[in-house]
Amino acid sequence: MTGLILLTTFVLARVWGDYQSKSDILAFEQAIVTESAPADTLPGDKSTLSDEPDYTLWSSKRIDDYHKSLTQRDDAPLAVLSIDKLALKVPVYNGTDEINLNRGAGRIKGTARVGSPGNLGIAAHRDGFFRGLKDIEIGDSIDMLTQQGKSEFVVSSITIVDPTDISVLAPTDDFTITLVTCYPFYFVGHAPKRYIVKGELLSNLLNKS
């Protein structure tokens, strides 16, 4: 009987964690919709997170860590990052501590602020949300929903670097996004490299053409 009670408690906590995660992003998106951002920059009703993350590519440990993290912290995300091609939608929190990286992606402190000009660095685990980056290509779109509205970036480069190479996070004058995860994606143990995806703001590219 005790085992059954413990199992039931675990299941309820896990379900509540998933509900809370979806509610946080939904509340974030709805708050933006009801504020004064231009209507044509907003994602509309269809952009709400209606399902759990797609765990197809995730490691079993990362799935467990994800559910656990949802009970450890409940602050709202800074933004929501989406890559439609990869069926990826992930909340972006401030900082890259383990809880933030288990429950979503994290803004790399010292890089540009969300919604501000500069090079915004965002990191996530290679065996969780960012494993799908293995299939991204130059020219693909990356969407960022912030308090200022929705911005579209276009992937401009994909590189593999050493962990000590911080030049990829160097400041820029224009709006730039840099996605960082460990590499190789299926490496056993601590991965020795970093996979870097850079994106440029679509409107800036159109102005240059």
Q: List the chain domain ranges.
A: 2-208
Band the pLDDT of 31: cuts 50, 70, 90: low
Gap between the Cα atoms of 183 and 42, Å rounded: 33
Q: Can you tell me the mean pLDDT for 44-59?
A: 67
Cβ-in-10-Å burial (0-12, 13-18, 19+) of 33 comes to middle
pLDDT of residue 121: 98
Instruction: Tell me the pLDDT tens digit for each residue of 53-89.
Output: 999 999 999 999 999 999 999 899 999 999 999 999 9
Tell me: the pLDDT tens digits for 119-162? 999 999 999 999 999 999 999 999 999 988 999 999 999 999 99
pLDDT score, position 107: 98
How far CA 127 is from CA of 56, 108, 114, 185, 197, in Å, comes to 10, 19, 24, 7, 16
pLDDT of residue 16: 42
Residue 204 has pLDDT above 60, yes or no: yes
> What is the identity of the amino acid at 177?
I
Q: Does domain 2-208 have CATH number 2.40.260.10?
A: yes
Average pLDDT, the chain: 83
| Rounded distance between C-alpha atoms, residue 39 and residue 21, angstroms | 25
Quote the pTM value.
0.79
pLDDT of the residue at 206: 76
